[in-house]
A and B are shown apart, each in its own frame.
Chain A
Amino acid sequence: MDQNNLIINLSDISFAYPGSSKALDKLNLQFHQGDRLGLIGPNGSGKTTMFHIIMGLLKPSSGTIEIFGRQVNGERDFRSVRERIGLLFQDADDQLFSPTVLEDVAFGPLNLGRSQEEAKDIAQSTLELLGLSGFEDRITYKLSGGEKKLVSLATVLAMEPEILLLDEPSNGLDDNTKAKLTEALSQLDLSYILISHEIDFLSETTDSVCEMRNGKILIDKEVYVHPHYHRHPHGTVPHEHKP
């Protein structure tokens, strides 16, 4: 692997929520430019926690975080990280808080210092990219589950991030919406880490899949998805296949 393309480098990260055992246990992760990495693993294995550590929403008890070749520590460092990495939350209701769709999508660009006009243009073109034209004046809480998810993705994409962290984006979506999401992701040409419990969805959207267990990422270079034999690693992880 090219060391210059290393964008996220977590080493020996440990984290524990107050009053519970370790959520992350000396976790190591090297993420390179152009990677499309899938993460799979049981509930409570620390996947979401790791995302929040990368974004600086949680502070690890030990270990170092290097992003874009620089060590990041305080809130100030993470502020610039958040301008280049977009996180899609598990629950779209957490992400959408503005009254209208247009305002929500324009919120990020405005925070980045864009003018109102620019922000509106960016928001509109992002919505168009995801096939959401005409949604501008819709009220966010009145959207359906799938629409909320796609609009949340638009709010993240509008900030033109270099990397996406997607926390179970396919959760609760029907096949149609899932297909839309898959198509949008393949069009984007972005590096991303994607958490999902669905092997099929991961194989369609990512190039490699890692398993997370007990606060560690299990790196196994031999691991590939084999759809035609219908045998794959992590078969012990509960999942479903499309017919």
Chain B
Amino acid sequence: MIEEPFSNGNSLVHNLDPRIKVIFAILYSFIVALSSRFPTLFAALGFSLLLIVLARLNVQEVSKRLAVVNGLILFFWLVLPLTIKGETLFNLGPLAVTREGVILSAQITLKSNAILLSFIAMVASMSITTLGHAMNRLYIPDKIVHLFLLTYRYIFVIDQEYQRLSRSAKIRSFRPGTNTHTYKTYAYLIGMLFVRASARAQRVHQAMLCRGFKGRFYCLHEFSMSLRDWALSAIMAVVIFGLGVLEWTKIT
């Protein structure tokens, strides 16, 4: 259902305090998203790649994820150069490709890849449970954290329920086609899934009441910052600052 191919590993990035990683990933993506100069964007892409290398992640898995996002970006390249008004770069039949359009598409491409790579390196390199605990320790509202963790916990159960239903349809020779029977069957299947999920939610709530639930969740996980964590957070702060300098002081 949800695989976490990057969460297990033993590298500089994996061993970093999860709280630092979350904070850095957020600040970093903001600064990259707000930048527009090419020196800054290329520097950011370079740094994101460095993070992936430091995290020693499986290159094939990383490229698979990049491919998904860049497939979407391809559409920007097809549309933006033709629709943004500006200086004509060259003509494509009756259509004019503009300089501004190409620049915008290039910026979008660089930004998305830099941010995505940094999130893969920093956030996907911890398990979802750890991420939840880190969010809790960063004073993100309890309700959000628990919604997140409970969703993660029960998405597997709901998936199993879906598998069970679709298996039972399959063993009775259900073959999907383009007809009312198929649509009806899928509608029943999805409807049943909602009914079961709601019944499940009710039972989980009952079980929680039986254990004295009073509307509060608790997090037992403890994090501690080592000297190395402090040193690395200083380096990352410098990187973010450096990107800001590159962007807004125009030294290059």
Cβ distance A44 to chain B, nearest Cβ, rounded Å: 16
User: Number of B residues whose C-beta is below 8 Å from A?
Assistant: 29
User: Which residues in B have their C-beta under 8 angstroms from that of A97?
Assistant: 150, 153-154, 204, 207-208
A178, CB-defined interface residue at 8 Å: no
User: Which residues in A have their C-beta under 8 angstroms from that of B212?
Assistant: 79, 82-83, 108, 111-112, 159
**Are B207 and A95 interface neighbours, CB within 8 A?**
yes
* Interface of B (DSSP majority class): helix
A91 CA to B128 CA, complexed, in Å:
24
Cβ distance A135 to chain B, nearest Cβ, rounded Å: 14
Q: A97-B204, A100-B129 are in contact. Are A156 and B220 (CB under 8 A)?
A: no
Q: What total count of A-B pairs have CB within 8 Å?
A: 79
A120 CA to B157 CA, complexed, in Å:
27
A215, CB-defined interface residue at 8 Å: no
A15, CB-defined interface residue at 8 Å: no
A116 CA to B132 CA, complexed, in Å:
18
Query: Which residues between 192 and 213 of chain B lie within 8 Å of chain A, taking CB atoms?
Result: 200, 203-204, 206-213
Q: A108-B211, A159-B211 are in contact. Are A89 and B220 (CB under 8 A)?
A: no
The 10 closest A-B pairs by CB, nearest first: A111-B212, A99-B129, A108-B211, A94-B203, A110-B218, A95-B207, A57-B206, A87-B210, A94-B207, A141-B156
* B interface, CB within 8 angstroms of A: 127-129, 132, 149-150, 152-154, 156-157, 200, 203-204, 206-214, 216-221
Extra inter-chain contacts (7) besides given A97-B154, A111-B212, CB under 8 Å: A57-B206, A57-B209, A57-B210, A87-B210, A97-B153, A106-B218, A156-B211
* A interface, CB within 8 angstroms of B: 52, 55, 57, 79, 82-83, 86-87, 89, 91, 93-95, 97-100, 102-103, 106-108, 110-112, 116, 119-120, 139-141, 155-156, 159
